[in-house]
Amino acid sequence: MVVFKISQKTKYSLSVIWIGLATLTTFCLGVYNPNKKPPHPHIIVVTLRDMGWDDVSFHGNPEIPTPNIDRIANHGVILQQYYTTPNCEDSVSSYRTGKHPIHYKKSMESGENARVTYDIWNYLDIQSYVIREVGLIDCKDTDIPFYPWDVIQKAENVLKQQDQIYSLFLQVNFPQLHADYPEQIPDEYLTRAKNIPFEARKIYAGMIMQLDRAVGHLVRILYDTGILHDAILIFTTLTGGTKGNNFYTWPSTYPFRGGNGTLWEGGSRALGFVYSNRIARRGRVSYGLVHINDWLPTIFRLAGGNPDHVVESDGMDVWDSINNDDYSPRMEILYGINGNKAAVRVGDFKLITGESYVPLSPRPLAKGELDNLIKPITVWDSELECADYPDAIGCWPDIEPCLFNVRFDPCERNNVAYYMPQTVEALTYTLNKYNTSAVYRDKRSLEEWDNTYKDLSLKLTLIKLEKSRKTLDRSKIGV
């Protein structure tokens, strides 16, 4: 056996070289250097909690100006048919595991399948990403103050320390936007929101404006450190908007029906956009279907991995659709199944059943307010409008399932179930398929599972994943 012995002297000179290198690296950090390319793009995911579809000006709301967010969205790709789940916790687990909650929960409950639950960090870890997360995703309603600047400060530290020969995955979680703490909003923002006549909405608007400025600052740091040049930025909310008792108080899901916790469009149709100078066709609205499950395989592919190797995923790699306006591989969205309440979308059609009726809600503006406000300039087609259907049949899904063409009728005004019984039947079939799959995965034995994944290369990936799972010490990488 040959053993290499390093003499004391060599050790010394090696350490001198190391110190030299370290100093050099420190000097070179924080500036864009075209010779220092990460092997894969940096990926920055920004989660925005409690923000509604209509709380940004790029979707046409003239009430709350969001110039920084608009700039990124308008120069990137606005995901017009993007869905999360109706529930914050479910969305977080969907995003992290690439599994729909009906499958994720089952696999967590049954111990034997638990070993297939890898999350996005595991996948990025095998691609040798530097993984950082700042801010907490906290789905509970806590009384933590609104602290976007803390989050930005932490993100800044991470970005300034990043050596650009490594690929960075940074997740930035902005805090909840609850209108309960007016004292947390600097006067400056309240003054800017002074035209909003509803007190709680004014406070909420103040938070959004502060958040918008924080987002602008984040992009500025990304630019200054040169990271933006090789980065892909993904922005997502974690549910549709929240509907409180009073729609002047809370985020606005206009023009959709319902809010979080419901199976109406307002519950899961969410704010999402992507920015990168690598995007082939940007400055547009994308109509490709995207579900929050899709980020894991999509990000894994961007990180140089093979999205087909993602284990038991409900997600799909939707990058070609985002990047190049190709058709999205996704044809179906499962909004959720909760007892006899369920909704599914296939192509443009959505079937909703068991859910309680909710009325349409207007944009939260005071009477005549719109007349005094300048309409924001938006990318073509980014403001949704709902047609009037004078002869529309209403929808009470707790009495009878309803069918909508949500591409052209996103407000769920015109229930076409009566006219299209075959489509209702087809979608009911799809829904039942999902409903049984929730049980099916639960019952599958380990042997069956192994047969499904007998592909050798996949097994190798799994072994690598097992290894990385062991070496990943989260407490060390959390910031």
Ligand X SMILES: *[C@@H]1O[C@H](CO)[C@@H](O)[C@H](O)[C@H]1NC(C)=O
Interface contacts to ligand X, rule CB under 6 A: 50, 87, 141, 176, 242, 260-261, 337, 339-340, 342, 431, 435
Check: CB of residue 388 under 8 Å from CB of residue 411. Answer: no
| Cβ at position 151, least distance to ligand X in Å | 17
**Cα→Cα distances 416→264, 352, 392, 394, 422, Å:** 16, 12, 8, 9, 11
| Cβ at position 339, least distance to ligand X in Å | 6
Give me the helix-helix angle, 295-302 and 88-97, nearest 10°: 30
Both tokens assigned to 94: 């969907």
| Cβ at position 92, least distance to ligand X in Å | 12
Q: Could you give the dihedral angle defined by the CA atoms of residues 363, 367, 371 and 374, in that order, rounded to the nearest 10 degrees?
A: -40
**Residue with Cβ nearer ligand X (179 or 196):** 179
**Residue with Cβ nearer ligand X (93 or 382):** 93
| Cβ at position 11, least distance to ligand X in Å | 56
| Cβ at position 337, least distance to ligand X in Å | 5
DSSP state of 355: P
**Residue with Cβ nearer ligand X (128 or 435):** 435
CA pair distance 45, 299, nearest whole angstrom: 10
Phi first, then psi: give them for residue 229, nearest 5 degrees: -60, -35
| Cβ at position 104, least distance to ligand X in Å | 17
Cβ-closest position to ligand X: 261
**Residue with Cβ nearer ligand X (339 or 390):** 339
Pairing type for strands 168-174 and 231-237 reads unpaired
| Cβ at position 435, least distance to ligand X in Å | 4
**Residue with Cβ nearer ligand X (141 or 455):** 141
CA pair distance 378, 59, nearest whole angstrom: 7
CA pair distance 252, 363, nearest whole angstrom: 7
**Residue with Cβ nearer ligand X (425 or 450):** 425
**Residue with Cβ nearer ligand X (51 or 78):** 51
Burial of 395 (0-12, 13-18, 19+ CB in 10 A): buried
CA pair distance 8, 124, nearest whole angstrom: 38
